[in-house]
Chain A
Amino acid sequence: MKRAHTASSAVCLLAIAAFLLGGWEHPTAAQQANDELDLVQIRPNFYVIAGAGGNIVVQIGPEGVILVDSGTTEAADKVLATIRRLTPLPIRYIINTSMNPDHVGGNDKLARAGLSILPGAVAAGAGLDDDLVSNSGRASVLAHENVLTRMTASTGPQAPPFALWPTKTFAYRLYSMYLNGEGIQALHMPEATTDGDLVVFFRRGDVIATGDIIDTTRWPFIDIKRGGTVRGELDALNRLMDLAILNVPLQWQPDRTLLVPGHGFVYDKLDLLEYRDAVTVVRDRVQDLIDEGKTLAQIKTANPTLGYRSQYGAESGPWTTDMFVEVVYNELAAKKGKTK
């Protein structure tokens, strides 16, 4: 009895103290652990993992998990942990939008953690090692054949290791499949940022993973050494314009095609339009200056990216504004004689 009395008195005193000190203010919540990856849900069964290198699209359904890209090797454990928080179902496919290290670096670890959708054994006498067909039971890694060609041809310390190579490729315009209730099309975008670029179109979810064809943080990185061209990049952007649908006629509704870029925030068609226009305007300005007889140095001084420089430009780093202008110039100057 005395104990209960003491306890109730203590509770009263604590309550009074709390009230006097600030009412019923909740104590400051403990900060959640910052695991550096940003998980954004864009559809009921679609997520984007950002901060692991390139953006990773995660599509979840009854058959398992489809990933578009796999981030960097260093972030693979965190990516896997993030996926595991979403679902225990196995990763079935990784589709690479290009050969860029920050998009393929997690191929090995994430594929190993997955489970092939294909049967393990291959008919005897077929002459095929079942590892080639089913990736030793791991998730398949799909890319355009040019990605594999480039990877196998690479030498030196920058060469991607075998473990990161795609296990399934195609050389034609598109590769289609139906999984998780989704029609999935991997569309080759020739000579865009590279000659191995894919965009992955999830038709039911109306989500397009664009890889580095769109990079909201900078000018598209046209990798001319690996077959990238400005013309191909613009063709790719315009093709994406055809694929994407805006939220009309009810423009206040949220339903619309979502485009997940290689880096940066999730786009819709209107954002894509601005990005496409920015690249086109710079191309037009450089063309105009070439037609006036200006040299590359003069063109750089004229600053043809003005209006977009602080949005997409960089003054230092691996891909600067001047580098982008130079790529545009070289391509247009080389064509100049043929168009007139």
Chain B
Amino acid sequence: MNSKLGFVALIVAVTLSAVPASAQVDFTGTWQRVGQNDNGASREPVDLLGMPFSPDGRAKALSYDIAALSATERQCQMYPPIYALVGPFPLQFVMVPDPVTQKLLAWKILGWGDRDETVIWMDGRPHPSKNAPHTHGGFTTGTWEGDTLTAVTTHAKLGDIKRHRGFSSDRATLTYRFNRHGDTLTATGILEDPVYLAEPYVLTEVYRLTTNPNNFPLTACEPIEELPSLHEDPTLVPHYLPGKHPAMNEVTEHYNIPLEAVVGGPETMYPEYRKKLKDKYVMPPPCKEGCGRPPAPGQGRGQGQGLNQQGEPPAGGRGAGPAAGRGAAPPQ
């Protein structure tokens, strides 16, 4: 009788220690981009400043002709996961529970416009075989480190890492860190690519939980015959021959930044690179356009731009809507 009592007491003790499951931190909701890091809103087609490209990555970026986007196959192409830190997208987090246990099975970051959704599997499942097909959004698994969510993505397709100015290959790995502090979320992305990057490319972005989201859900995309030449001869591949990119010198012309810095490379990320620049840089004349001046009193809101929580467009014209010419539906 007493041994049975002991056994029952043990069962009760163990049961009491099993607390209901829940996420470490709740990310549910729409997080509007409020950070003002410049992660890719450049006007010049050749702007690889601070991007730690390998020689292959640099060459790939410099050969890129944006006319390639008009190929039927690329018009509906979606951005890779790192682009969540580059584009104007909010992050819309949804918790996916296990249908039986209701424990956290995955976090889903819903797609936006032309960025695929990201499903962060939290159940410890392995990544697919290296021979498995790749998708725009790749395959992502996540773990908690305290209250920080760390997610690792593989199996993503080749895609832009700065708007039409640099690429990650299909061998890239992206590690995300999501830190929530109250209603502020900081995302840090560490992109590693044995093909195009000589060192990790690290970006951050800051978001704020919003009840007035600027959501642009995934929409159907129909390619059109945008460039007649590409449809008359589908074997044509738009690209610039080495050293012949017509916009190679625009950043230098506009900002006096030496070309060797404009074409990126790992050393351009480090403070000591300023020593190399010092004797080569002369501050250009005062800014006349694209200066990010505050709006004049009574000026209307920008068309199709992401708005902050005060309902104002971001400074400097960032947060523009999805790329034109992709056949995407306009925001609702």
- B54 contacts chain A at the CB level, 8 A cutoff: yes
Q: Which of B180-188, B236-244, B252-260, B276-284 contacts A (4 or more CB under 8 A)?
A: B236-244
Is B234 an interface position by the 8 A CB rule?
Answer: yes
Task: Report the bound CA distance from A273 to B239 in whole Å.
Answer: 14
What is the chain B residue whose CB lies nearest that of A15? B10
Please name all residues of chain A whose beta carbon is closer than 8 Å to the beta carbon of B234 when the two chains form the complex.
238, 241-242
Interface string of A284-322 (1 = CB under 8 A from B): 110010000000000000101011111100000000000
Q: Within 8 Å of chain A (Cβ to Cβ): is B157?
A: yes
Contacts of A277 in B (CB 8 A): 68, 237, 239
A249 and B239 contact, CB distance less than 8 A: no
Q: Tell me whether A307 and B158 are in contact in the complex, defined as CB-CB below 8 angstroms, given that A248-B222, A248-B223, A265-B134 are known contacts.
A: no
B55 touches A251 (CB 8 A): no
Contact B6 A38 (CB under 8 A): no
CB distance from B54 to the nearest CB of A (A): 7
Interface SS of B by simple majority: loop
B73 touches A258 (CB 8 A): no
Is A270 a contact of B73 with CB atoms below 8 Å? yes
Closest to A16 in B: B10
Report the bound CA distance from A308 to B7 in whole Å. 67
> For the complex, is B14 an interface residue (Cβ under 8 Å from A)?
yes
Contacts of A252 in B (CB 8 A): 78, 111, 116-117, 136-137, 218
- How many Å lie between the Cα of A38 and that of B77 in the bound state? 29
How near does chain B come to A126, taking the closest CB pair, in angstroms?
45
User: With an 8 A cutoff between CB atoms, is A159 at the interface?
Assistant: no
- When distances are taken between beta carbons in the complex, the residues of chain A under 8 Å from B22 are none
Q: Is B211 an interface residue (CB 8 A)?
A: no
Interface presence of B247 (CB below 8 A): no
Residue pair B10, A310 in contact (C-beta under 8 Å):
no
- A230 surroundings in chain B (CB, below 8 A): none
Q: Which of B40-48, B56-64, B91-99, B311-319 contacts A (4 or more CB under 8 A)?
A: B56-64
Query: Which residue on chain A has the smallest CB distance to residue B241?
Result: A288
A306 to B74, CA, bound (A): 22
A281 interface residue per 8 A CB criterion: yes
A273–B74 contact, CB under 8 A?
A: yes
State whether the Cβ of B76 lies closer than 8 Å to any Cβ in chain A: yes
A271 at the interface (CB under 8 A from B): yes
Give the residue name and chain of the B residue nearest to A39 (CB). B129
Considering the complex, give the chain B residue whose CB is closest to the CB of A311. B195
Question: A313 CB to closest chain B CB, in angstroms?
Answer: 9
**Chain B residue nearest in CB terms to A261:** B131
Contact of A248 with B221 at beta-carbon distance under 8 Å, contacts A266-B131, A271-B157, A311-B169 already known: yes
User: Is B296 an interface residue, CB under 8 A from the partner?
Assistant: no
Separation of A302 and B77 alpha carbons in the complex (Å): 32
Report the minimum CB–CB distance from B265 to chain A (whole Å).
14
The answer to whether A307 and B59 have CB atoms under 8 Å apart is yes
Within 8 A of B (CB), among A224-278: 234, 238, 241-242, 246, 248-252, 254, 258, 264-271, 273-274, 276-277
Q: 21 A-B residue contacts at CB 8 Å?
A: A8-B3, A12-B10, A50-B131, A234-B235, A238-B235, A250-B220, A251-B116, A252-B78, A252-B111, A252-B137, A258-B133, A265-B130, A270-B73, A277-B239, A280-B235, A302-B242, A304-B242, A306-B56, A306-B59, A310-B54, A311-B56
Instruction: State the B residues within 8 Å of A (CB).
Output: 3-4, 6-7, 10, 14, 17, 54-56, 59-60, 63, 68, 71, 73-74, 76-78, 111, 116-117, 128-137, 157-158, 169-171, 194-195, 218, 220-223, 234-235, 237, 239, 241-242
Q: B-contacting residues of A (Cβ < 8 Å)?
A: 5, 8-9, 11-12, 15-16, 19, 38, 40, 42, 48, 50, 55, 234, 238, 241-242, 246, 248-252, 254, 258, 264-271, 273-274, 276-277, 280-281, 284-285, 288, 302, 304, 306-311
